[in-house]
């Protein structure tokens, strides 16, 4: 099978498996998604979703987040891990949003990257899900693992993996395909024991780095 045909077949198979795959973080606004995504670093989405209701009730706007004390914010986000740095970044990002963007979350990659705690992964999550803008490919641990196993990249650096995936698939597919890869990584292609024998795309996957008999 030609490589471009194989990639299309992978995307089509994942679409059949996870037609409604989407962001698993709970949010009601672009700002809430930004906050939740920052908190999700080194933390499960499930834990973040337990923390954010009280956090958003206390800090419903960037101004409220900018005004809250570091100590109080640390207490609200403590269970997400790395809480001191996350609280510092959240307050810093909120201040930039208020002071430089009039309290509205910016809608471009370059502007989002000016916010403390925001790198390309977080910016891609916000742009793709809150604004429907495909500016890049979200590369989390699941996407990085699956992209390597499926032979979609030989890179290990997230920015280089992102570049390979952006070249491999059409721009309009980036956001949704990212969600589907994450869902497949959680459900089937796990880090330690991938269920290759029951995987619907096994015939399309070279299983790079996977032990025989998986």
**pLDDT band at residue 213, thresholds of 50, 70 and 90?**
low
Q: Which of 45, 86, 110, 121 is catalytic?
A: 121
CA atoms within 13 A on the CB side of 65: 29
Report yes or no on 209 lying in a domain.
no
CATH number at residue 81: 1.10.340.30
Report yes or no on 210 lying in a domain.
no
Question: In a 3-state reduction of DSSP, which class is residue 129?
Answer: helix
CATH number at residue 13: 1.10.1670.10
Do residues 117 and 168 both lie within one domain? Answer: no
The radius of gyration computed from the CA coordinates of the chain, to the nearest angstrom, equals 18
The Cα-based distances of 44 to 8, 39, 41, 77, 147 in angstroms read 30, 9, 8, 13, 21
Q: What is the rounded average pLDDT of the residues 104-121?
A: 97
Q: What is the rounded average pLDDT of the residues 139-167?
A: 97
Rounded Cα–Cα distance for residues 188 and 102 (Å): 44
Do residues 70 and 45 both lie within one domain? Answer: yes
Q: Which of 45, 88, 140, 207 is catalytic?
A: 140
Residues 53-82: tens digit of each pLDDT: 999 999 999 999 999 999 999 999 999 999
Q: Which of 130, 153, 180 represents a domain boundary (last residue)?
A: 130
Domain that holds residue 173: 3-21+137-204
Do residues 101 and 48 both lie within one domain? Answer: yes
Active site residue 110: no
pTM of the prediction?
0.94
Do residues 17 and 79 both lie within one domain? Answer: no
CA atoms within 13 A on the CB side of 37: 29
Report yes or no on 214 lying in a domain.
no
Position 15 scores a pLDDT of 97
Q: Which of 115, 130, 145 represents a domain boundary (last residue)?
A: 130
Do residues 53 and 7 both lie within one domain? Answer: no
Active site residue 140: yes
How high is the mean pLDDT of the chain?
A: 96
**pLDDT band at residue 49, thresholds of 50, 70 and 90?**
very high
Do residues 141 and 194 both lie within one domain? Answer: yes
Q: Which of 73, 97, 130 represents a domain boundary (last residue)?
A: 130
Do residues 15 and 45 both lie within one domain? Answer: no
Percent share of the chain, pLDDT over 70: 99
Report yes or no on 121 lying in a domain.
yes
Structural domain tally of the chain?
Answer: 2
**pLDDT band at residue 214, thresholds of 50, 70 and 90?**
low
């Amino acid at each position: 099978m030609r490589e471009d045909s194989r990639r299309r077949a992978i995307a089509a198979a994942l679409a059949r498996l996870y037609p409604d795959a989407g962001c698993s973080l709970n949010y009601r606004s672009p700002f809430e998604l930004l906050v939740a995504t920052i908190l999700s670093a080194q933390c499960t989405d499930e834990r973040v979703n337990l923390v954010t209701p009280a956090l958003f009730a206390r800090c419903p706007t960037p101004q409220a987040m900018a005004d809250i004390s570091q100590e109080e914010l640390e207490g609200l986000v403590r269970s997400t891990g790395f809480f001191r740095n996350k609280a510092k970044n959240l307050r810093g990002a909120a201040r930039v949003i208020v002071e430089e963007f009039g309290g509205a979350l910016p809608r471009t990659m370059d502007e989002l990257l000016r916010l403390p705690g925001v790198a390309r992964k977080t910016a891609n999550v916000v742009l793709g899900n809150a604004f429907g803008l495909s500016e890049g490919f979200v590369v989390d641990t699941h996407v990085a693992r699956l992209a390597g196993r499926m032979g979609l990249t030989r890179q290990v650096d997230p920015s280089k993996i992102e570049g390979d995936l952006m070249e491999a698939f059409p721009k309009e597919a980036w956001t949704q395909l990212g969600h589907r890869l994450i869902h497949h990584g959680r459900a089937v292609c796990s880090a330690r024991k991938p269920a290759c024998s029951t995987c619907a795309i096994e015939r399309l996957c070279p299983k790079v780095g996977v032990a025989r008999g998986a």
